[in-house]
Amino acid sequence: MLPGFKFTLGYTLVYLGLIVLIPLSAVFLKTLSLTWAQFWSTVTDPRVVASYELSFGLSLVAATINAVFGLMLAWILVRYQFPGKRFVDALVDLPFALPTAVAGIALTSLYAGNGWIGQYLEPLGIQVAFKPLGILVALVFIGVPFVVRTVQPVLEDLEKELEEASASLGANRLQTFTYVTFPILLPALLTGFALAFARAVGEYGSVIFIAGNIPMVSEITPLMIISKLEQFDYAGATAIALVMLIASFTLLLLINGLQAWTAQRTGRTV
């Protein structure tokens, strides 16, 4: 049994403050050392704005891809039996365990012009490594476990009687999935989408090697922050970080609001 409510709540608030709120407050406080003109000049620099567009845009695309194919992968792992299923199931967690730098080097080796896969793509005019496409590949790689592991337990607990009842009423498999199964899975799918997006926005290690880091082309925002820190421009680094923090929090808040609304609506429907 956990101790009383007051003690538990107090401990939770102290722990949350030390781990989350104080570091985030430091970002705000350090940024306040800049004047408004300096802050605006830093965060609206064309090179920085290009990094925003690249980081947030590709993160949304990667999270969307992971939502689609992560759902398919979770469905196969739950609903079908096949040789090597346990191996595939364990392989899903590889991006969790693999150091991000190792993932970046491995992906670069595969998709570079002389890599195992890149050597066949480049003659077709498809360049992956050192291009935005390479960043997308890395973000998809590190994000797919979040979708699979959030959808999988919901799918395992799904009552098959609901699908059987739908079939008995004359619905085909697509109709059953669309109107019965998918609405139940949607809140978990949105959660996985949000987690994959959040991970992708802040990803650095696996992206830095395959991106090429070409200004205005393949520079991600975390790299801009690191560059500011290397120049001892701590206020500039925290200013860019503050923009990322506010934008990420706003997007996640919208996604979580949509998730809550969907769960409430699904609950009423079911």
What are the tens digits of pLDDT across the range 238-250? 999 999 888 888 8
What pLDDT score was predicted for residue 40? 93
Dist. CA 153–CA 260, nearest whole Å: 18
Do the beta carbons of residue 243 and residue 43 sit within 8 Å?
yes
Mean of the pLDDT values across residues 65-86?
Answer: 92
Mean pLDDT, to the nearest integer, of 6-15?
80
Evaluate if residue 270 carries a pLDDT over 90: no
Q: Show the domains of the chain with their CATH numbers.
A: 49-269 (1.10.3720.10)
**Across residues 198-225, what is the average pLDDT?**
88
107-111's contacts with Cβ under 8 Å and 24+ in sequence apart are 107/134, 107/137, 107/138, 107/141, 107/206, 107/209, 107/210, 108/134, 108/209, 108/210, 111/137, 111/210
Q: Which of 80-84, 169-173, 260-264 has the highest mean pLDDT?
A: 80-84
What are the tens digits of pLDDT across the range 214-262?
A: 888 888 999 899 989 888 999 999 999 999 888 888 888 888 787 777 7
pLDDT at 269 over 60: no
Quick one: pLDDT at residue 4?
A: 67
Say what the pLDDT of residue 268 is: 45
pTM recorded for the entire structure: 0.86
Residues whose CB falls within 8 Å of the CB of residue 16, separated by 6 or more in sequence, listed in order:
none
Q: Is residue 63 scored above 90 in pLDDT?
A: yes
67, pLDDT greater than 50: yes
Q: Which residue has the higher pLDDT, 16 or 189?
A: 189
